[in-house]
Amino acid sequence: MIFPNVPQVKYEGPESRNPFAFKFYDPDKVISGKTMRAHLKFAMAWWHNLTAGGTDMFGRATIDKSFGGTTPMEIAKARADAGFEFMRKLGIDYFCFHDLDLIAEADTLEAQNRQLDEIAAYIKGKMDATGIKCLWGTTNLTNNPRFMNGAGSSNSADVFARAAANVKKTLDIMYLFTQGGENSYTGGFVFWGGREGYETLWNTDMALERDNVARLMHLAVDYARKIGFNGQFYIEPKPKEPMKHQYDYDAETAIGFLRKYGLDGDFKLNIEANHATLAGHTFRHELRVAADNNMLGSIDANTGDPHLGWDTDEFAYNVYDTTECMYEVLRAGGFGWGGLNFDAKNRRPSNTYEDMFHGFILSMDAFALGLINAVKIWDDGRVGVLSPEGHAERYGSWNSGIGLAIRSGKATLESLSDYALKQGEPQLPGSGRQEYIQNVINQVTFG
């Protein structure tokens, strides 16, 4: 046992003072037609939880994540042991990974592929034994110096080819993870374009680079479908960091890109809270944009810090944010193949194994509260563009008369001009009632 000090974490309710209990996340409780577990679909990010040791630009690791292993393969397996014990203790059903979270990067592609096969088989054994699934995999195309000018967007065709080889291997692993006879399921594959962008346009052929990023995505889809991996592909938008500018800037940009290159049938978006705020949007805005385009696939659940301009990947804690998030997820009809992946890491001084659990308990409870509040707001019916009353009051003019004529394409600029001449000055369009709405949100949440 790797975490002897942590018991099985169970729901004990809001009065509990047990640090290793859920106060709000009650996995089997049915709320709005589904268990909380099925609504929330929590996933553990292998990289932050099992490999990241708290390093930052100014300091080395504060926690040892070798979990008792000594050789690289022993460490890789010990991390898998730790991960499965961790997920089982919290009742987490999914994980997400990069190829290079699973093993230490090898000197040659052959050696790396061999080691990946070994660890993937080891992990698959644990998946089969526990029923834990992989939500999505991805390829690390940022760390190695060969990717310094990008992967799909590299100026070097040889680097592009190497990126393709690494993506192929990750897809092979993802395919293996999703196979299991009648227990087979549909997983996913994420492209986070970490270095797909530029530092300066003085040296960048942006058009060629973007075409090539799309080419790599098409090649990945073609290969996946060829081997029988029918999973969902995702773009994870992020505007900057590590590059000055990244091509998948935000949801609107990524959707435009997918449509331009004919990738929108195979891709949806993986929206990350901290990436949204880096792009100057709210988390909710990005979720709404994705959902309104039928592109809300999955979520990287974390939070940034409003006072810091970079990706801090903190455990989500702000219940207003999680409420808005879960409201948007409910509004979109829930997750399909996606889920809530905790792309979050402990703060550097939170350097014990117990802190790893506290981080997850914090965010699992925060999203459970978000779900509970979102359902209450929805059922209350006074606010939100879902409520028929609110909708009819604010947008009622679009359901008949001139509004309907515009929506159905019957109106012309001339007919609208004639209408405007006849009607005189239109009435003011009605109060937005924002403060009233916020009152209701607080009343429903805390009342």
Give catalytic residue positions: 98, 101
190 in contact with ligand XUL (CB under 6 A) = yes
Amino acid at 88: R
User: Which residue in the shown chain puts its C-beta closest to ligand XUL?
Assistant: 192
The values of phi and psi at residue 78, to 5°, are: -65, -35
Nearest Cα to Cα of residue 234 among 364, 94, 139: 139
Closest to Co ion by CB, 85 or 300: 300
311 in contact with ligand XUL (CB under 6 A) = yes
Closest to Co ion by CB, 9 or 316: 316
- Tell me 303's DSSP state: B
| Nearest 10 degrees: Cα torsion 322, 323, 324, 325 | 50
The minimum distance between CB 96 and Co ion, in angstroms, equals 9
93 in contact with ligand XUL (CB under 6 A) = no
238 in contact with ligand XUL (CB under 6 A) = yes
316 in contact with ligand XUL (CB under 6 A) = no
Q: Cβ of 18: how many Cβ atoms within 10 Å? A: 11
138 in contact with ligand XUL (CB under 6 A) = yes
The minimum distance between CB 304 and ligand XUL, in angstroms, equals 11
Which residues ranging from 276 to 335 are in contact with Co ion (CB under 5 A)?
300
Residue 311: name its binding partner from Co ion, ligand XUL, none (Cβ under 5 to 8 Å by kind): ligand XUL
Q: Which of 272, 311, 314, 324 binds Co ion (CB under 5 A)?
A: 272
DSSP codes, 207-258 = HHHHHHHHHHHHHHHHHHHHHT--PEEEE----SSSSSEESS-SHHHHHHHH
- Tell me 5's DSSP state: T
CA distances from 301 to 91, 245, 416 (A): 17, 23, 46
Which residues ranging from 239 to 298 are in contact with ligand XUL (CB under 6 A)?
272
How far apart (Å, rounded) are the C-alpha atoms in residues 435 and 389? 17
The minimum distance between CB 235 and ligand XUL, in angstroms, equals 11
101 in contact with Co ion (CB under 5 A) = no
The minimum distance between CB 55 and Co ion, in angstroms, equals 18
248 in contact with Co ion (CB under 5 A) = no
343 in contact with Co ion (CB under 5 A) = yes
Residues counted in the chain: 447
Closest to ligand XUL by CB, 11 or 47: 47
Map residue 41 onto helix, strand or coil: coil
331 in contact with ligand XUL (CB under 6 A) = no
How far apart (Å, rounded) are the C-alpha atoms in residues 159 and 136? 24
Q: Cβ of 102: how many Cβ atoms within 10 Å? A: 25
Q: Which residue spans within 301-338 are E strands per DSSP?
A: none
192 in contact with ligand XUL (CB under 6 A) = yes
End-to-end CA distance of the chain: 43
Cβ distance 310 to 204 under 8 Å? no
Closest to ligand XUL by CB, 190 or 374: 190
Residue 373: name its binding partner from Co ion, ligand XUL, none (Cβ under 5 to 8 Å by kind): none
Binding footprint of Co ion on the chain (CB under 5 A):
272, 300, 343
Binding footprint of ligand XUL on the chain (CB under 6 A):
98, 138, 190, 192, 236, 238, 272, 300, 311, 343
